[in-house]
């Protein structure tokens, strides 16, 4: 379940919110400092929480299309492995995750911007009309493959990452 209790205080540094972290707070504070130093001018807020020996990572981006949320839950094994790393390497993993989320958001933004422009030029109203036998419109046939691409890009980016390859992602 995505946590909607965020501050909406997204600035131009990716922020790592540790309010819900109970375990390894000292390590996470070091990670937060390194992470925030490495992510200057990136408007994301990461919220971490830990429970049942797992880490949940919520990412919130505020862009011109509104808020976009991502959620990633690490397995117990991945959490244990992540916490065995030094703070610098944990931060590198979070920056990698941030870069994947940025790519997903950029792809989503580009597709929705394209569709918005296409709607403006839809003189005859055919874009949103049920066109295919299953009731899909041309709009649907453009939009849904983009979301599939976004998911496949993430899978490909994370498939060889020992921490994130078996993580549970919710978009």
**Quick check: is 114 in a domain?**
yes
Average pLDDT along the chain: 85
**Quick check: is 10 in a domain?**
no
Give kind and range of the element (H or E) at residue 31. Answer: helix 25-38
Confidence at residue 10, expressed as pLDDT on a 0 to 100 scale:
44
Q: What is the pTM of this model?
A: 0.82
**Quick check: is 5 in a domain?**
no
Band of residue 136 on the pLDDT scale cut at 50, 70, 90: confident
Give CA–CA dist 69/66, Å, rounded.
Answer: 10
Closest CA to 50 of 71, 23, 32: 23
**Quick check: is 2 in a domain?**
no
**Quick check: is 119 in a domain?**
yes
The range of the structural domain enclosing residue 134 comes to 15-170
- Helices first, then strands: H and E counts in the chain: 4, 5
Please tell me the number of Cα atoms within 13 Å of 135 on its side-chain side.
0
pLDDT in tens, 36-46: 899 877 888 88
pLDDT in tens, 70-125: 999 999 999 999 999 999 999 999 999 999 999 999 999 899 899 889 889 888 88
Overall domain count for the chain: 1
- Per-position DSSP letters for 73-140, written without gaps between them: E--HHHHHHHHTS-HHHHHHHHHHHHHHHHHHHHHHHHHHHHHHHHHHT-TTS-SSSB-STTS-BHHH
**Quick check: is 151 in a domain?**
yes
**Quick check: is 7 in a domain?**
no
**Quick check: is 19 in a domain?**
yes
């Amino acid at each position: 379940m995505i946590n909607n209790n965020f501050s909406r205080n997204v600035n131009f540094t990716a922020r790592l919110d540790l309010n819900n972290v109970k375990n390894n707070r000292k390590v996470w504070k070091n990670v937060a400092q390194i992470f925030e130093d490495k992510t200057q001018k990136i408007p994301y807020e990461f919220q971490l929480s830990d429970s049942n020996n797992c880490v949940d990572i919520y990412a919130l981006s505020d862009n011109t299309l509104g808020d976009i949320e991502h959620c990633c839950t690490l397995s117990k094994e991945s959490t244990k492995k992540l916490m065995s790393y030094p703070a610098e390497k944990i931060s590198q993993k979070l920056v990698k995750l941030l870069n994947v989320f940025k790519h997903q958001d950029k792809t989503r933004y580009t597709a929705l911007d394209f569709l918005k422009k296409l709607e403006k030029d839809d003189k005859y109203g055919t874009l949103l009309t049920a066109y295919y036998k299953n009731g899909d419109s041309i709009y649907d046939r453009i939009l849904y493959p983009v979301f599939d691409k976004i998911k496949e890009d993430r899978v490909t980016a994370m498939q060889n990452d020992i921490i994130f390859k078996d993580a549970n992602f919710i978009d």
